[in-house]
């Protein structure tokens, strides 16, 4: 799956407080692994997540080998939008 780096960071910053911990817990991953997925550069903690950055506009194009974390984050944002409109 391809996404711009800018969009990946926008999604991360739009997540409600506690979402990184929720994703990590539900997917049985380290919280730093989730942060690394969204572009953090602290590799000594957590796993290095498999994605590749191609230079380009909007921070470049990120090719995600596995979109599971992104899909979970989008699900959380969808839940937020649903609860905030009701």
pLDDT at res. 45: 57
* Domain assignments of the chain as residue spans, ordered by start: 2-81
Three-class secondary structure assignment of 22-85: HHHHHCCCCHHHHHHHCCCCCCCCCCCCCEEEECCCCCCEEEECCCHHHHHHHHHHHHHHHHHC
Contact 48, 18 (CB under 8 A): no
pLDDT of 1 higher than 80: yes
pLDDT of 81 higher than 70: yes
pLDDT at res. 39: 83
Over residues 23-79, the pLDDT tens digits come to 999 999 999 889 989 987 665 555 556 677 888 888 899 998 899 999 999 999 999
């Amino acid at each position: 799956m391809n996404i711009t780096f800018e969009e990946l960071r926008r999604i991360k910053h739009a997540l409600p407080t506690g979402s990184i911990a929720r994703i990590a817990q539900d997917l049985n991953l380290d919280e730093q692994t989730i942060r690394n997925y969204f572009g953090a550069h602290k590799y000594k903690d957590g796993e290095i997540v498999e994605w590749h950055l191609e230079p380009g506009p909007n921070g470049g194009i990120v090719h995600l080998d596995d979109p599971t974390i992104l899909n979970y984050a989008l699900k959380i944002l969808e839940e937020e939008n649903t609860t905030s409109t009701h």
